[in-house]
């Protein structure tokens, strides 16, 4: 048995992406929580006169911590100043590397669905990369426009633009490819915020403090604003990271709308915690029931609606087995004929009748309820074939 370099490369990149992503999101959650829980020091006291804008005491891991945040900068910089940046950089680098290995080098399998748009791999890759760059430019221009002074309206406009991006990408990519690119757009915006706004703003503060000058607070305020945006992006992007395990989302006819609904659930949950951190838990508590209800509304509306015609002729197992052998077994077999899938994905094999019967639920979810499989519809399974399998399952999935 040969060593599958690509498989292990994907595993390594995905693991790095998760590790660095946890570090980045954890820092985001902590510092937003910290910022919202700081209390002003005693007025005209020594801390107030030293420029401390807020402080907080905490206990964790068997010890007490005292945290202070200066309104702009301390009178003198410490010898050791920690910068939070590499978590963001390596999360994006590992994510883009994984996107390239899986969706760009494997564009014909994971990114392109010719029943959606008959485009070349080069065109698909250019659209993908262009969506990342273009989305950052549009977002950055919005942040520099007068709209940024109205955070609620800004948030709604940004949400609608990202929903529009999801719809547009779903017109050219497979459902899985569209979802991952919306996630990549959000991740790119988040990382670019760190690289282009947050870090330069912090460097300006440090440079002014080192020169003994009164720092301009504007860069710091902009950095704080972008950090808050990143905080609201976290839960939607985490959902997208796990979405490929749930074909009922990306494989739905209106997958882009399902994504918008579930992203809104994440935003509402994040907003609840941010309100709670500000001591407004009672006012914000209504957000959790709304998010809970919205989640199940989306789940209900996304439920499969492909009904099997009553009185349909009995479908023989031999007919279904022929379709599965023709359309699915090139990947799902003990010895797949498709060289890109060795061994069979997730160990699912359709060489025998028993193996097919064992996977009936998964077949229904991936082939009948959605068009998630075959990947990119490489084997050109027709709707009639999907319907035939659906009728067979509805009739009891009998082996006769």
Give residue 309's pLDDT: 59
Cα–Cα distance measured from residue 392 to residue 232, given in angstroms and rounded to the nearest whole number = 45
Same domain, 63 and 114: no
Same domain, 146 and 209: yes
Over range 43-54, report the average pLDDT: 90
pLDDT higher than threshold 70 for residue 307: no
Cα–Cα distance measured from residue 206 to residue 213, given in angstroms and rounded to the nearest whole number = 10
Q: What is the rounded average pLDDT for all residues in the chain?
A: 91
Cα–Cα distance measured from residue 94 to residue 105, given in angstroms and rounded to the nearest whole number = 15
Instruction: Please indicate, yes or no, if residue 5 is contained in any of the structural domains.
Output: no
201-252 pLDDT, tens per residue?
999 888 888 888 878 888 888 999 999 999 999 999 999 999 999 999 999 9
Question: What are the φ and ψ backbone dihedral angles of 113, each rounded to 5 degrees?
Answer: -130, 105
Over range 171-194, report the average pLDDT: 97
29-42 pLDDT, tens per residue?
999 999 999 999 99
Cα–Cα distance measured from residue 263 to residue 219, given in angstroms and rounded to the nearest whole number = 29
Q: Give all strands (DSSP E) within 38-138, no chain letters.
A: 52-60, 63-70
74-98 pLDDT, tens per residue?
888 888 898 999 999 999 999 999 9
Instruction: Please indicate, yes or no, if residue 24 is contained in any of the structural domains.
Output: no
pLDDT higher than threshold 90 for residue 346: no
Ranking 144-158, 171-185, 307-321 by mean pLDDT, the lowest is: 307-321
SS (H, E, C) 294-330: HHHHHHHHCCCCCCCCCCCCCCCHHHHHHHHHHHCCC
Sequence-distant (≥ 6) Cβ neighbours of residue 202 within 8 angstroms? 83, 219, 220, 223
Ranking 35-44, 57-66, 102-111, 212-221 by mean pLDDT, the lowest is: 212-221
Give residue 3's pLDDT: 65
349-369 pLDDT, tens per residue?
998 989 999 989 999 989 998
Question: What percent of the chain is modeled with pLDDT above 90?
Answer: 64
Same domain, 224 and 98: yes
Across 287-326, b (16+ Cβ under 10 Å) vs e yields beeebeeebeebeeebeeeeeeeeeeeebeeeebbebbee
Q: Are 180 and 245 a contacting pair, CB within 8 Å?
A: no
The residue from 28, 50, 70 where one domain ends is: 70
Q: Following DSSP, what letter does each residue of 157-170 receive, concatenated?
A: HHHHHHHHHHHHHH
Same domain, 51 and 98: no
Q: Are 108 and 121 a contacting pair, CB within 8 Å?
A: yes
Same domain, 65 and 106: no
pLDDT higher than threshold 60 for residue 185: yes
Token reading at 278: 């500000």
Question: What are the φ and ψ backbone dihedral angles of 64, each rounded to 5 degrees?
Answer: -100, 145
Ranking 129-143, 163-177, 235-249, 335-349 by mean pLDDT, the lowest is: 335-349
Number of domains the chain contains? 3
Grade residue 287 by pLDDT with cuts at 50, 70 and 90: very high
Sequence-distant (≥ 6) Cβ neighbours of residue 335 within 8 angstroms? 342
Instruction: Please indicate, yes or no, if residue 93 is contained in any of the structural domains.
Output: yes
Grade residue 1 by pLDDT with cuts at 50, 70 and 90: very low
Same domain, 120 and 64: no
pLDDT higher than threshold 80 for residue 123: yes
Instruction: Please indicate, yes or no, if residue 102 is contained in any of the structural domains.
Output: yes
Across 180-204, b (16+ Cβ under 10 Å) vs e yields bbbbbbbbbbbbbbbeebbbebbeb
Report which secondary-structure segment, H or E, holds 396. none
Same domain, 117 and 222: yes
Sequence-distant (≥ 6) Cβ neighbours of residue 116 within 8 angstroms? 170, 171, 172, 173, 174
24, 366, 391, 392 from 396: Cα distances, Å: 48, 18, 9, 7
Give residue 2's pLDDT: 57
Over range 294-300, report the average pLDDT: 95
Same domain, 197 and 165: yes
Instruction: Please indicate, yes or no, if residue 304 is contained in any of the structural domains.
Output: no
Ranking 150-154, 276-280, 310-314, 389-393 by mean pLDDT, the lowest is: 310-314
Cα–Cα distance measured from residue 262 to residue 380, given in angstroms and rounded to the nearest whole number = 30
Cα–Cα distance measured from residue 204 to residue 215, given in angstroms and rounded to the nearest whole number = 8
Of 155, 142, 139, 248, which Cα lies nearest the Cα of 187?
139
Over range 124-145, report the average pLDDT: 97
Instruction: Please indicate, yes or no, if residue 255 is contained in any of the structural domains.
Output: yes
Instruction: Please indicate, yes or no, if residue 292 is contained in any of the structural domains.
Output: no
Instruction: Please indicate, yes or no, if residue 29 is contained in any of the structural domains.
Output: no
Sequence-distant (≥ 6) Cβ neighbours of residue 332 within 8 angstroms? 341, 344, 345, 348, 349, 350
Grade residue 389 by pLDDT with cuts at 50, 70 and 90: very high
Same domain, 162 and 241: yes
Same domain, 94 and 193: yes
Same domain, 99 and 182: yes
Q: What pTM, to 2 d.p., does this model score? A: 0.90
Q: Which domain holds residue 53?
A: 38-70
Question: What are the φ and ψ backbone dihedral angles of 205, each rounded to 5 degrees?
Answer: -65, -45
Highest mean pLDDT among 154-163, 320-329, 381-390: 154-163
Q: Are 99 and 93 a contacting pair, CB within 8 Å?
A: no
Same domain, 179 and 325: no
């Amino acid at each position: 048995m040969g060593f599958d370099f690509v498989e292990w490369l994907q595993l390594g990149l995905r693991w790095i992406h998760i590790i660095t992503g946890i570090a980045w999101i954890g820092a985001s959650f902590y510092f937003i929580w910290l910022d919202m829980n700081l209390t002003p020091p005693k007025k005209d006291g020594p801390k107030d006169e030293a420029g401390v804008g807020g402080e907080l005491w905490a206990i964790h891991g068997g010890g007490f911590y005292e945290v202070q945040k200066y309104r702009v900068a301390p009178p003198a910089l410490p010898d050791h100043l920690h910068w939070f940046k590499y978590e963001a950089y390596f999360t994006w680098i590992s994510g883009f590397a994984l996107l390239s290995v899986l969706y760009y080098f494997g564009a014909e399998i994971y990114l392109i669905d010719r029943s959606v748009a008959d485009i070349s791999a080069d065109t698909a890759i250019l659209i993908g990369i262009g969506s990342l760059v273009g989305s950052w430019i549009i977002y950055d221009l919005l942040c520099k426009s007068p709209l940024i002074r109205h955070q609620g309206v800004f948030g709604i406009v940004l949400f609608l633009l990202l929903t529009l991006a999801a719809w547009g990408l779903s017109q050219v990519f497979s459902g899985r490819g569209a979802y991952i690119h919306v996630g990549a757009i959000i991740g790119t915006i988040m990382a670019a915020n760190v690289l282009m706004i947050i870090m330069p703003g912090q460097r300006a503060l440090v440079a002014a403090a080192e020169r003994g000058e009164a720092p301009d607070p504007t860069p710091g305020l902009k950095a704080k604003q972008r950090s808050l945006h990143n905080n609201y992006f976290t839960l939607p992007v985490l959902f997208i990271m796990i979405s490929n395990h749930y074909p009922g989302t990306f494989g739905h006819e209106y997958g882009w709308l399902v994504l918008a609904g579930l992203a809104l659930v994440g935003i509402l949950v994040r907003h609840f915690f941010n309100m709670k951190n500000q001591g407004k838990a009672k006012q914000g508590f209504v957000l959790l029931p709304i998010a809970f209800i919205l989640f199940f509304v989306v789940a209900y509306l996304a439920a499969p609606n492909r009904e099997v015609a009553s009185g349909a002729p009995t479908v023989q197992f031999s007919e279904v087995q022929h379709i599965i052998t023709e359309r699915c077994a090139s990947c799902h077999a003990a010895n797949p004929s498709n060289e890109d899938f060795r061994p069979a994905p997730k160990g699912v094999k359709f060489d025998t009748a028993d193996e097919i019967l064992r996977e009936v639920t998964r077949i229904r979810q991936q082939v009948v309820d959605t068009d998630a499989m075959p990947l990119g519809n490489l084997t050109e399974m027709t709707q009639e074939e999907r319907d035939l399998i659906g009728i067979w399952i509805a009739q009891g999935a009998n082996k006769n």
